[in-house]
């Protein structure tokens, strides 16, 4: 492990050169693009006011940037999807501050991806520098969320956590029925019945991407996106300006699926995609129809992957209802360091027990998949 790395703090993405970012980012994932992070900050969807203070760390060798870790200083745990509310509550009961904490993640986006942009460094090279940085800045913990599994041995006080997501895998299907034919007879019949109900209710579906998406389409999407949050009593995380900027700068990564009844649009699902993965992100509707959520958020996405030879479809976090529709349970990986010495051992034990629980849960979900043996 490299302990000699010097890191600099950057508190706004526009203080990092987009050229340096692009040169260090070798992944195709749309959520790692400079334009994505820049839109989050430009639109004030992430900011100190929102509890997401940009705290990006940059490593340099001489005058050259060798690594960028997009990070946020946080005073809450919303929008992360690796839940540590119980940890925060335990700290509070003992009169100890849990926040601020430092988080390496893509805000509001529980997608596994590299959390460091570099061709010369691995994320493990930064464990010790991150600890030193937190000690120096009086930050109580750091968290690296939804990253590839680290195969090397972890330091004694860095802990792994797992969650289970449900992903669809394209096994060279030529059409939707090729996938469906792998189901048991009963599950296949149920899925066909769900899809047929869309036509029987007089609904029409259209897929829009790239230049086919208009600002008016994005306005309608944002209406449905807002309604989804308001029904739960929350304000949406992302502002309309964020999505408008996405349309201007990243339209090549956006898929918009809209359902209509007659001449009226009534529901919408927004996806991001690259050459190998489709990412289901946001959904909403102005009127309720049977099975419409399944059609827009899952079945249309599967068809898009088959049509475009996309290998993996990540429809979003949680949701056991995805299992019977052929989405397979996969483990995600996150890594955590806690500064307070009294909590190191309890947190480590918690993580070990949780890991075993997640492995058991993954196996249970695997057994419930709809495929024939």
SS (H, E, C) 6-55: CEEEECCHHHCCHHHHHHHCCCCCHHHCHHHHHHHHHCCCCCCCCCEEEC
For residue 318, the model assigns a pLDDT of 83
Distance CA 30, CA 93 (A): 40
Q: What is the per-residue pLDDT for 204?
A: 98
* 3-state SS, residue 5: coil
| Helix extents (H) in the chain | 18-24, 34-42, 85-93, 127-137, 176-180, 185-200, 215-231, 240-249, 292-294, 300-308, 341-367
- Residue at token pair 């526009």: 14
Contacts with 340 (C-beta within 8 Å, 6 or more apart), sequence order: 91, 96, 140
Query: CATH: 3.50.50.60, 3.40.630.30, 3.40.50.300, 3.40.190.10. Which one for 171-310?
Result: 3.40.630.30
pLDDT at position 1: 40
Residue 279 has a pLDDT of: 98
How many other CB atoms are found less than 10 A from the CB of residue 17?
A: 12
Ranges of each domain in the chain: 7-163+331-367, 171-310
Q: How many Cα atoms occupy the beta-carbon half-sphere of 354 within 13 Å?
A: 20
Burial bucket for residue 367 (CB in 10 Å: 0-12, 13-18, 19+):
exposed
The pairs formed by 169-176 with CB atoms below 8 angstroms and a separation of 24 or more are 169/311, 169/312, 169/313, 169/328, 170/305, 170/306, 170/309, 170/310, 170/311, 170/312, 170/313, 173/306, 174/306, 175/306, 176/299, 176/302, 176/303, 176/306
| 3-state helix vs strand vs coil in the chain, percent to 5 | 40, 25, 35
pTM above 0.85, yes or no: yes
Beta bridge partners of 8: 58
Low-confidence ranges of the chain (pLDDT < 50): 1-3
Q: According to CATH, what is the number of the domain 7-163+331-367? A: 3.40.630
Q: What angle do CA 196, 193, 220 make, to 5 degrees?
A: 50
Is residue 225 within 8 A of residue 284, CB to CB? The reply is yes
Cis peptide preceding 100, ω within 30 of 0: yes
């Amino acid at each position: 492990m490299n302990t000699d790395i010097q890191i600099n703090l950057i508190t706004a993405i526009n203080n990092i050169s987009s050229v340096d970012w692009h040169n260090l980012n070798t992944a195709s994932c749309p959520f790692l693009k400079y334009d994505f992070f820049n839109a989050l900050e430009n639109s004030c969807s992430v900011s100190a006011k929102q509890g997401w203070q940009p705290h990006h760390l940059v490593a340099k060798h001489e005058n050259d940037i060798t690594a960028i870790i997009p990070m946020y200083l946080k005073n809450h745990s919303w929008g992360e999807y690796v839940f540590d509310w119980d940890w925060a509550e335990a700290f509070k009961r003992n009169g100890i501050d849990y926040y601020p904490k430092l988080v390496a993640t893509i805000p509001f986006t529980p997608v596994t991806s590299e959390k460091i942009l570099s061709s010369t460094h691995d994320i493990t090279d930064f464990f010790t520098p991150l600890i030193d940085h937190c000690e120096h800045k009086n930050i109580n913990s750091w968290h690296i969320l939804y990253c590839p599994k680290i195969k090397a041995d972890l330091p004694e006080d860095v802990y792994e956590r797992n969650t289970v997501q449900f992903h669809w895998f394209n096994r060279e299907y030529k059409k939707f029925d090729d996938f469906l034919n792998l189901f048991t007879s009963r599950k296949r019949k149920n899925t066909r019945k769900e899809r047929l109900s869309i036509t029987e209710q007089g609904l029409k579906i259209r897929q829009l991407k790239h230049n086919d998406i208009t600002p008016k389409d994005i306005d309608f999407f944002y209406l449905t996106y807002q309604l989804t949050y308001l029904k739960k009593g929350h304000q949406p995380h992302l502002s309309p300006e964020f999505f408008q900027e996405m349309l201007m700068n990243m339209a090549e990564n956006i898929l918009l699926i809209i359902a209509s009844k007659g001449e009226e649009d009534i529901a919408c699902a927004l996806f991001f995609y690259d050459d190998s993965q489709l990412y289901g992100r946001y959904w909403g509707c102005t009127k309720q129809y049977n099975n419409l959520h399944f059609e827009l958020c899952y079945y249309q996405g599967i068809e898009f992957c088959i049509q475009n030879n996309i290998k993996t479809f990540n429809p979003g976090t949680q949701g056991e209802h995805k299992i019977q529709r052929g989405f397979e349970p996969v483990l995600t990986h996150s890594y955590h360091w806690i500064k307070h010495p009294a909590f190191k051992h309890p947190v480590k034990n918690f993580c070990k027990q949780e890991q075993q629980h997640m492995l058991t849960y993954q196996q249970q979900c695997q057994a419930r998949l709809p495929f024939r043996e």
